[in-house]
Amino acid sequence: MKMVTAIIKPFKLDDVRDALAEIGIKGMTVTEVKGFGRQKGHTELYRGAEYVVDFLPKVKVEVAVNADILDQVIDAIIKAARTDKIGDGKIFVVDLDQVMRIRTGESGKEAL
């Protein structure tokens, strides 16, 4: 099992969610975050004083998936989230040791 974390542009959230639903992903966790990569921040003016805002609003999507559909998941996210402009985001994949459904006590693949 794998935990897939995608940092995407906020307005792409609905597209990513729909794309994942299409390949059978039934749940996800979404967080509003701020961050930057190569997409630099911008300078703002507050009452004449300049300040730099490095951190741009992004959305973090986390899905726990079965290892055998990992490539499909990654492809779906990339296709849905891509705008070909800087700041599209990144995907991180880590190994998932254990998954548990709290209500029923199921674990492993049944809990995904």
Partner 1 sequence: MEAIKELSYALDTFYFLVSGALVMWMAAGFAMLEAGLVRAKNTTEILTKNIVLYAVATIMYMLMGYSLMYPGDGVSSWWPGLPSILGAADNTAEAVIAGGDDAPYYSTLSDFFFQVVFVATAMSIVSGAVAERMKLWAFFVFAIVLTGFIYPMQGYWKWGGGFLDQAGFLDFAGSGVVHMCGGAAALAGVLLLGARKGKYGPDGKVNALPGANLPLATLGTFILWLGWFGFNGGSELKVSDVAEANAVALVFVNTNAAAAGGVVAAIITARLWFGKADLTMALNGALAGLVAITAEPLTPTPLLATLVGAIGGVIVVGSIVMMDKLKIDDPVGAISVHGVVGMWGLVAVTLSNPEATIGSQLLGLFTILAWVFLASLIVWGIIKAVMGLRVSAEEEFEGLDIGECGLEAYPEFTGSRGSGK
User: Would you call 57 helix, strand, or coil by DSSP?
Assistant: strand
If the CB atoms of residues 32 and 110 are measured against partner 1, the closer one turns out to be: 32
Instruction: Output the smallest distance, CB 31 to partner 1, in A.
Output: 14
If the CB atoms of residues 55 and 92 are measured against partner 1, the closer one turns out to be: 55
The residue ranges that bind partner 1 (CB under 8 A) are 9-11, 14, 34, 42-46, 49-55
The conformational region for residue 104 under phi > 0 = left, psi -120 to 50 = alpha, else beta, is: alpha
Contact (Cβ atoms closer than 8 angstroms) between residue 88 and residue 39: no
Instruction: Output the smallest distance, CB 61 to partner 1, in A.
Output: 17
Contact (Cβ atoms closer than 8 angstroms) between residue 68 and residue 33: no
If the CB atoms of residues 35 and 64 are measured against partner 1, the closer one turns out to be: 35
Mention every residue, 6+ apart, whose C-beta is less than 8 A from residue 68. none
Instruction: Output the smallest distance, CB 18 to partner 1, in A.
Output: 11
